[in-house]
Amino acid sequence: MSRVFITGSSDGLGRMAAQLLIEQGHSVVLHARNEERGREAMSAVPGAETVVTGDLTSIAQTRNVAEQVNALGSFDAVVHNAGIGYREPRRIATEDGLPHVFAVNTLAPYILTALIHKPKRLVYLSSGLHQNGDAGLEDLVWEQRPWQGQQAYSDTKLHDVLLAFAVARLWPDVLSNALEPGWVPTKMGGPGAPDDIDAAHRTQVWLAVSNDPNATVTGKYFYHMRLRAPNPATHDQALQERLLAECNRVSGVDLPIV
């Protein structure tokens, strides 16, 4: 049995992954934005161990989520599932003055990776749209560029793969991988999304707990439990280091290099 923490697991793919893990006999800790959604998550996922709460748009609350997780003990896997979609029509600022989508999709996974005690496996949800992300890593917080919601989303999904691969390189004792679940009809994907919803949550579960040799790898990118070629820029160590440095600068949180 494995013990797994999943961010953004009050609904959507995170909830589906939690339900499947519990069906398979694993222990799952959920995450929700606030206490009300936390209660809803616990009702929707019978058998979950507990839920931690915190709004990942906030640096302070994200740090507190990490503290709550660490207080629960060690985990075999952490699945960074929480995400904001590409439909935001304007730059919506968080309490820290950051774009909403950057705070949740890029900065929160970085902070949680840095602060949660190292698990055996890390899983980061990206998107096929990461292929269109800006590998220049310029103006990550959209202070200079005119806002484009889909581009902002694509950028953050590129960041997620860069983060996964950087961690795989820097933490050789941790299996760190990224994946795209497909464009599926969740609240984020919309009702017209064409991909298979039943397959969308299975890769993250597989990477989190499976002993399949194909799953016990690191620094790889997957789609439906098969390797897929990511944007070539994600393998650039200099870009990985630039992203880590920017996330460190914005959050004030150091990623331990061990």
> Mean pLDDT in runs of 10 for the chain (258 residues)?
97 96 98 97 97 98 98 98 92 96 98 98 98 96 96 98 98 98 58 62 97 98 97 98 98 93
What is the side-by-side order of every strand in the sheet holding 77-80?
A: 50-53, 27-32, 3-6, 77-80, 121-125, 175-180, 221-223, 226-227
pLDDT of 198 reads: 74
For 3-251, give the CATH class: alpha beta
pLDDT of 123 reads: 98
Its pTM stands at: 0.95
pLDDT of 17 reads: 97
pLDDT of 6 reads: 98
pLDDT of 75 reads: 98
Q: Which residues of 118-141 are buried (b: 16+ CB within 10 A; e: fewer)?
A: ebbbbbbbbbbbbbebbeebeebb
pLDDT of 86 reads: 87
Please report how many Cα atoms fall inside a 13 Å half-sphere around the Cα of residue 13, on the Cβ side.
30
Q: Where are the domains of the chain?
A: 3-251
Looking at the annotation, which residues are catalytic? 153, 157
